[in-house]
Structure formats: structure tokens, C-alpha cells
Structure 1
Amino acid sequence: MHGLLEMAFVSEIVLQTKIATRASERLQVANDNLDNIEVWGAIQSILVATGNVSKILWPPAKSDKPRGEMLKKILKVKENNLLSERKFRNHFEHYDSRLEDFFRKQSNGGIHYIDLAMNPSLSGHGLGNIHRGYNAFNNTLIYRGDLLDLNELIKALADIHEACKRYGYRS
């Protein structure tokens, strides 16, 4: 890979980690202000930025896999890094098809449809019934029973950001 192209990818990774970090900061402020729209906007920004880093390091196209392997090697990112899993980003990015699928499979017309739940573990509803939920007490995200710890996700991004600095990128 050409040196300038390599630096462009590292620069993009740094930008996306900064976007996710700022979104994480906004998420904490939104929690304090009880601003649900900003909470969900910040969560979406975190997931999109994280997904962008993931696609750079674990590209979906077979022809781009060597680039991902090379970048992971120079940044010393392990293959099993939390960012390699894009399940949550996909849940949110493809929410439309997941929603249609849910209602198509419901014999009760979707009577158990609960979305954008705040602190769902406190609501008394089964967590598997929650489409999208956010627990402000432990900073976790839920999607139909799947859990994602946003603290761990931001930590994984911070580690990659530090690797970019060690590589020589000054942010």
C-alpha cells in the first residue's frame, strides 16, 4: 500500500474515533438532561463511526481484505477486537428490514413491540421484547436480547486511536 494511502486510512480511523468519542460525551450530557432524542442521536453516531472503523479494518469486500490485514498489522489490532463485530451497527442500519421481519412473524400483530426503551431492565418487560433499548445506569445498549456495552466499545476505539498515535499519526 502506498504510504500516503496508508496515512489517509489512519487519518480516517482517527477522525472516526474522535466522532465516536464526542458522541459518547454528548450521550452522557443527554442522559443528565433527559433528552431522549439526543441520547438516540449520540448512540447512532457512536455506532456509525465505530462501523466505519470496522469497515476499514475488516472490509466486507474480498478485494479489500489485504488492506484491512495490513492496517491491522501496522496498528497491532487483534483479529478478535470488539470492533470486528458489526452486529449492533447492522441492527440499527437495517432496522427497517428487521422491523418488517418482526411484524411478519408476530401472530399477535406486534402487541409486544417496545422500542427506544430507556433503562429497559427496570421496566419489567422481558428484554427480548425490547427492539432498541438503552440503559443509562451501565451504558449498555440492547437490541432484542443482544447486549452491547458502550463503555467497552469506546475503550476499543480509544485503544485503536492510541495505536494510530504510536504509528506516528499526531492528532
Structure 2
Amino acid sequence: MISNEELEHRAEITLDTCGGIQPMHMAFYGISIRYSAERALAAFELYDYLAQENADPASQISAVQEAVGHVGALSRYFWPSTAGKKKTELKQYELKLARGEKLRKQFKITEESPLSDRDLRNAWEHFDEKLDTYVLSNDAGYFFPTPMIESHELADHPVGKIFKLLDPEAECLVLLGKKFFFGPLRTEVERIFAANEQENS
């Protein structure tokens, strides 16, 4: 097994000479990015089908949840987690940040990209913790714990406590009273997927 010292050395060389990704490794990142984008788009297509078939709310929300999970994985290539910074792994930490910057340039992704907003992904990934806070914060009102298909405006009512609501018209998902508009995410994933395909054609 390679030592951490050697990993730090290689990370430093990659940073200094290649800006975060060695040229022969760019294809590996491209394939990985394609996978996440392709899986996200497949889940969105499943959602389209389920919506057209008037499937139950839980199934439709589940498809959006799957898509968002893959979108989250995709976003981490471009905006790596800033957690886990250790003194013994500083160059590896710097490397992942540089890798993200290099990939953003490669795919022409700006800081205004909807992929940079991690709120929706985090809302799903940490739903249990958010639920803890939500129930502690709301001790009165009408609670709707089961998935719903309705207008997102229903979440604006002050006494309604909505856990999971999907508004297909607005492409909005409401989680624990907070609104997330996922349409722009889908558009950005489609653009990245097309750019990746063009790059590798």
C-alpha cells in the first residue's frame, strides 16, 4: 500500500505541473462525470414517465430523490467537499480543490451554476437530522407526513407542516417546509452531459 507521504508527494507534483489533474487522467474523470450525469437524467426520465402515468406521490418523489442523489455526486466533481482537511494531507486537500476548479473550467461551469447549491442534496442526505430539528421546532399546526402532489404554494400556509411535497408544474420539491426548484438542475446536467459527449466524440 502506498504511504501517505508518497501520496502527498504525488499530489504536490500534480498540483505544480498539471493544475489538479494529470492529462492522461482527464478521461477517467470524464467517464465518471458521464456516469453521474447519465444516471441523473435516467432518473429524471423515470420521473417524467411516472408523472405522465399519474403514479402515486411516493414513487414520483422517489424518482426525483434518486435524480438529486446523482446530481449531488456530479456536483462533487466540480465542488469537492471542503471537509476533512488534515495537516498530514494538505497537498491532497489542495489537489481536490484544484481538480474541481480545473473541471469547472473544462465544462464551462460558473459559480452561478445550480450545481453549486448543495441545499437540496443535503436536505435529502441529512433528512433524518433535519426532521429532528423540524419536529422540535414545530409543536402546533397541521402535519402532513406522507408524500403529496400539490402546488408548492400549499407550503406557504403558516399552519401547514409539510414533510414531502412535489409540484410537477413548477418542478418544485418541498422538504420539511422548504422549497427546492429542481428544473434548473436538470437543465445544467443535460448541458454537462452533452458537453461531455461532444468532448469524447
Bin of the TM-score, shorter chain as denominator length: 0.7 to 0.9
Aligned CA distance change for structure 1 residues 12 and 124 (closer, same or farther; 3 Å): closer
Using the alignment, how far apart are the partners of 2:200 and 2:143 within structure 1? 46
Residue aligning to 1:45: 66
Does residue 15 of the first structure (1) align with residue 45 of the second (2)? no
Does residue 73 of the first structure (1) align with residue 125 of the second (2)? no
Using the alignment, how far apart are the partners of 1:106 and 1:161 within structure 2? 41
- Structure 1 unaligned spans of 5+: none
Residue aligning to 1:106: 138
1:113 partner amino acid: F
RMSD: 2.2
Q: CA deviation at 1:145?
A: 4.4
1:134 partner amino acid: L
1:148 partner amino acid: F
Residue aligning to 1:155: 187
1:92 partner amino acid: W
Q: CA deviation at 1:35?
A: 2.0
Aligned CA distance change for structure 1 residues 8 and 124 (closer, same or farther; 3 Å): closer
For the 8 Å contact 2:152–2:166, the answer to whether it is kept is no
SS at match of 1:78: coil
Alignment coverage as a number of residue pairs: 167
1:91 partner amino acid: A
Using the alignment, how far apart are the partners of 1:126 and 1:78 within structure 2? 35
Residue aligning to 1:32: 52
Does residue 119 of the first structure (1) align with residue 150 of the second (2)? yes
SS at match of 1:79: coil
2:66 partner amino acid: S
For the 8 Å contact 1:120–1:130, the answer to whether it is kept is no
* Identical pairs, percent: 20
Residue aligning to 1:86: 118
Aligned CA distance change for structure 1 residues 26 and 162 (closer, same or farther; 3 Å): same
Q: CA deviation at 1:113?
A: 2.6
SS at match of 2:166: strand
Q: CA deviation at 1:90?
A: 0.7
SS at match of 1:137: coil
SS at match of 1:8: helix
Residue aligning to 2:11: none
For the 8 Å contact 2:155–2:174, the answer to whether it is kept is no
